[in-house]
Amino acid sequence: MGIMNFIKKGPSPDITRDPAHPEDDMRLLGGSVILTKLEAINNWGRKYSFFQYPFVTACCGMEFMSVAGPKYDLDRFGAALPRFSPRQADLLMVVGTISHKQAPILVKVYNQMAEPKWVFAFGVCAVSGGFYDNYATVQGIDTLIPVDVYVPGCPPRPEMVIDGLIRLQQKVMEGKWSDFPKGASPVSNIDD
Amino acid sequence: MEANITINKLNSRFSESIVETHAYRGDDTAIVRKEDILEICRFLRDDKELQYNFMMDVTAVDYIGREPRFEVVYHLYSLAFNRRFRIKARVPEADCSVDSVVSLWPSANWFEREAYDMYGIAFNGHPELRRILLYEDFQGHPLRKDYPIKKRQPLIGPTC
């Protein structure tokens, strides 16, 4: 609730009383103070500043470039800057088919990311294996790591990706402190 | 006939080893006994009139229900004469092995590893016969026709 007041009115740069706006008197210290929950403002900051790690393995990568580029422009949603180190990223974009041989790499990258972190399954291969129902392909990355948003499609339209990102933002906004740390992937080898 | 010089030479020199030959539309092929594959390949590489110095492919075929069940297929190319030749060796399931030709053509190394990986055919004398495309913990050989189509492999951890 507090955060919504912040968004609607914004902080006032001027704390002196302006006679032309007597309604400012109703606001705390002339509008220079806002009240919110720390959790809420934290989530609000997180949802507009995703640092993504693009784990691009297949043809969905072309569609990812399209949605990340200037035409569809994920930067409008604060998720533009790819980090090519998992240590600096908090959104793992799994874009494309994951084979069994690739699986340990994906798990390692996920485990290397700092908390809090989210996972975006981009395309039907990452979601469920897609039509690669065979010996070589992982049947959905949720058999390896927890997934927050599933965006199917072969490949998904940019609109679907943007919709998925907005849903992820809603999920982040509803997040609790207690959701993190999520810990290592359930298939991690503890001896590693 | 010029096109069949390879088959003629093989027939005259290895008549015991040749099971079958054909040369349909320049597609020269010989099916040979698997015990003699190394000697025949050495001849094909070293003979001055043949010089098959380029090993282009080694692969296998699973003819399930037929005996012998497998066929290992070698594709050779002669850079000197712009000539191609195919050799097949039939391999039974009970003795699923054939001599490696890595000692003749180093390029056969990974091809034989792939055939081993996918079909489980052992190549005797191969310097490093282990899986090449799949991972070590994989169970079975997926291009065999009796590999269960819905089989699921165990997921592997980051140490592998």
* DSSP per residue, A86-108: GGG-SEEEEES--BTTTHHHHHH
Per-residue pLDDT at A123: 92
Residue A93 has pLDDT above 90, yes or no: yes
A80: three-class secondary structure by DSSP:
coil
Per CB-CB distance under 8 Å, the chain A contacts of B142 are 134-136
Per-residue pLDDT at A113: 92
How far is it, in rounded angstroms, from Cα A119 to Cα A142? 10
Say whether residue B77 is in contact with chain A using an 8 A CB cutoff. Answer: no
Per-residue pLDDT at B100: 92
Give this complex's ipTM.
Answer: 0.71
Bridge-based pairing state of the strands B54-62 and A149-151: unpaired
Per-residue pLDDT at B7: 87
A24-49 per-position pLDDT tens digit: 666 666 667 778 888 899 999 998 99
Residue B73 has pLDDT above 90, yes or no: yes
CATH class of B2-94: alpha beta
* Chain mean pLDDT for chain B: 87
Of B127, B98, B94, B103, nearest to B115 by C-alpha is: B98
How far is it, in rounded angstroms, from Cα A112 to Cα A123? 23
Task: Say whether A100 and B152 touch across the interface (CB within 8 A).
Answer: no
| Of residues B116 and A135, more confidently modeled | B116
B91-139 per-position pLDDT tens digit: 998 989 999 999 999 999 999 999 999 999 999 999 989 988 888 878 8
Chain A residue nearest residue B131, CA to CA: A101
Say whether residue A111 is in contact with chain B using an 8 A CB cutoff. Answer: yes
Per-residue pLDDT at B160: 39
CB burial readout B117-152, b (16+ within 10 A) else e? bbbbbbbeebeebebbebeeebeebbbbeeeeeeee
The dihedrals phi and psi of A181, each to the nearest 5 degrees, come to -75, 145
pLDDT confidence tier of residue A1, bands split at 50, 70 and 90: very low
How big is the A-B interface in CB pairs under 8 Å?
47
Whole-prediction pTM: 0.77
DSSP B103-139: TT-TTHHHHHHHHHHHH--EEET-TT-S-SSS-TT--
Say whether residue B158 is in contact with chain A using an 8 A CB cutoff. Answer: yes
pLDDT confidence tier of residue B42, bands split at 50, 70 and 90: very high
Q: Where exactly are the structural domains of chain B?
A: 2-94
The dihedrals phi and psi of B17, each to the nearest 5 degrees, come to -90, -20
Residue B79 has pLDDT above 50, yes or no: yes
- How many whole angstroms from its chain centre is CA B99? 9
For residues A34, A38, A41, A47, the Cα torsion angle rounded to the nearest 10 degrees is 180
Per-residue pLDDT at B6: 87
CB A130 within 8 A of CB A90: no
Domains along the sequence of chain A with CATH = 2-36 (no CATH), 50-175 (3.40.50.12280)
Per CB-CB distance under 8 Å, the chain A contacts of B153 are 100, 135
Task: Say whether A136 and B134 touch across the interface (CB within 8 A).
Answer: yes
Per CB-CB distance under 8 Å, the chain A contacts of B159 are 104, 189, 191-192
* Chain mean pLDDT for chain A: 83
Mean pLDDT of A77-104: 88
Per-residue pLDDT at A191: 45
Give the start-end residues of each E strand in chain B: 18-24, 27-32, 54-62, 70-78, 83-91, 97-99, 122-124
What secondary structure letter does DSSP report for A51? -
Say whether residue B157 is in contact with chain A using an 8 A CB cutoff. Answer: yes
Per-residue pLDDT at B122: 92
How far is it, in rounded angstroms, from Cα B89 to Cα B68? 10
Per-residue pLDDT at B159: 46
Question: How far B65 CA sits from the closest chain A CA (Å)?
Answer: 23
How far is it, in rounded angstroms, from Cα A125 to Cα A121? 9
Per-residue pLDDT at A192: 46
